Homo-oligomer: A and B are copies of this chain.
């Protein structure tokens, strides 16, 4: 679950955006000043929505500060179109920008678009190990070119394990990786999913690799 930082000094706006973001599956934290935004940015943020007009430190400065050591996507929000010249001209490195007034739907569409773009650019999310092929983007997995009909969780589990050959994951670790940080379910849930995943994998031969149980710890993917 991606985490947004929403920085705007208008609490009504941030509240609406926060609610809306949650409905779309984004966690979010809110800052009402520029300095607060910089402070909160340290808490592992996936995308920043940054209002230009803010007390203490304006959006431009915050953006430039963040860009000094991070490429986390930033969407600038401005009250009027005139700021365009500055956003572009100052080369502050925002990824997109939105002019007020906006609809929450528009904001979310842009957030998702930017995240998608970043995601596609950075990782291809494809694994090929022996006869196993996992494509997280297309949500398809196959053994010997025969398609496995995996569910979302199953493919995510398999990807996580296979992408980290021989590394053992605890159940809590997997819950974090696949289910997200703010998921508080039973860790035995992982077992059930592993069973279902194995049942599907074992319909085909794969002598060179397997998903193994690490006793007292969790699970790992292993190439022999």
Chain A positions within 8 Å of B, measured between CB atoms, are 10, 12-13, 15-16, 23, 81-85, 87-91, 94-106, 109-110, 112-114, 116-117, 121, 137-140, 147, 151-152, 166-168, 172-173, 175-176, 181, 183-185, 214-217, 220
Q: How far does the alpha carbon of A96 sit from the alpha carbon of B101 in the complex, in Å?
A: 12
Q: Check if B91 sits within 8 Å of A168, measured CB to CB.
A: no
Q: Check if B113 sits within 8 Å of A105, measured CB to CB.
A: yes
Residue among B16, B105, B172, B175 making CB contact with A91, cutoff 8 Å: B16
Q: How far does the alpha carbon of A90 sit from the alpha carbon of B152 in the complex, in Å?
A: 42
> For residue A97, which residues in chain B have a CB less than 8 angstroms away from its CB?
101, 103
> Considering residues A87, A98, A105, A137, which has the most beta carbons from chain B within 10 angstroms of its beta carbon?
A105
> For residue A167, which residues in chain B have a CB less than 8 angstroms away from its CB?
137-138, 140
Q: In the assembly, how many copies of this chain are there?
A: 2
Top 5 closest A-B pairs, CB basis? Answer: A84-B101, A152-B216, A139-B168, A138-B167, A96-B105
